Structure 1
Amino acid sequence: MAQTSHPLAAPKTQTQTEADLPWLVVVMNDPVNLMDYVVMVFRRVFGYDLAKARKHMLEVHEEGRSVLWSGSREQAEAYVYQLQEWQLSAKLQRDSGE
C-alpha cells in the first residue's frame, strides 16, 4: 500500500502568533470608586481572597492600573464586561509577551 504524503504545516503568521498571546484584563484608576468597593468587586468577580484583592486595589490606586487576569480573549472580554457593569474602568489589552 502506498503512503500518502501529508502537506507540511504552514508556518505561523504574525497574526496567528499574536492571537495566541494571552489577553489582559486591566483596571484603571478612577476618582469615583471607594477602595473598599473596589476590593469587594475584585473578590466577587475573580474570587480573590482579601489579601490579593487589596494588593490589586492598592496597585490601581498607587500606579494607576493593575493587570487582574491573563488568558483567553473570550474570558478576558467577559471579565472586562463584568467589571464595567460594576462601574470600574476596565479594558482588554493584548499581552505583548514582554
Structure 2
Amino acid sequence: MTDVLEDTRLEQRLELGAPWALIVWDDPVNLMTYVSWVFRSYFGFEREKAERLMLQVHTEGRAQVASGTREEIERHVEAMHGYGLWATLEKVEL
C-alpha cells in the first residue's frame, strides 16, 4: 500500500511540477511603507500580513511572499520588478 501511495505522490509532483517561491529582497531604496503597500495592492494581502512580510524583508533581508508554478512566480517576479522591488524565484525543495 505504501508503494502505491508514494508512486501516486511522485506522479502528482511530476504532473504539477515542483513548486516555486517568490523571494522579495531588502534594498536600500524602497521605504517599508511602500513595500507593504505593494504587497497589499498587488497580492491583496491584509495589512497585518503585508506588514509582517515587509518586516521580514527588512530584518532578515528576504521573505518568501508567494509560491506556485514556475510560470505564476515568473509573472510575480516581473510584477515586483515593475514596482521597483528586488525579487527572484527559487525552487521549493520538497
Matched, 1:32 2:29: yes
2:73 to 53, 71, 76: 76
User: Superposition RMSD on alpha carbons, in Å?
Assistant: 1.7
Gaps of 5+ in 2: 1-9
Matched, 1:96 2:68: no
- Normalising by the residue count of structure 2, what TM-score does the alignment of the two structures yield? 0.81
Secondary structure of 1:92's aligned partner:
strand
**Contact 1:45–1:79 (Cα < 8 Å) also in 2:** no
Aligned pairs, number: 83
After TM superposition, the runs of 4+ consecutive aligned structure 1 residues lying more than 6 A away are: none
Gaps of 5+ in 1: 1-11
Identity rate of aligned residues, in percent? 41
- Aligned pairs (5 A) from 1:1-98: 17=14, 20-97=17-94
Higher share of residues assigned helix: 2
- Normalising by the residue count of structure 1, what TM-score does the alignment of the two structures yield? 0.78
Structure with bigger gyration radius: 1
How much does 1:68 deviate? 0.3
Between the aligned partners of 2:34 and 2:73, the Cα distance in structure 1 is 21
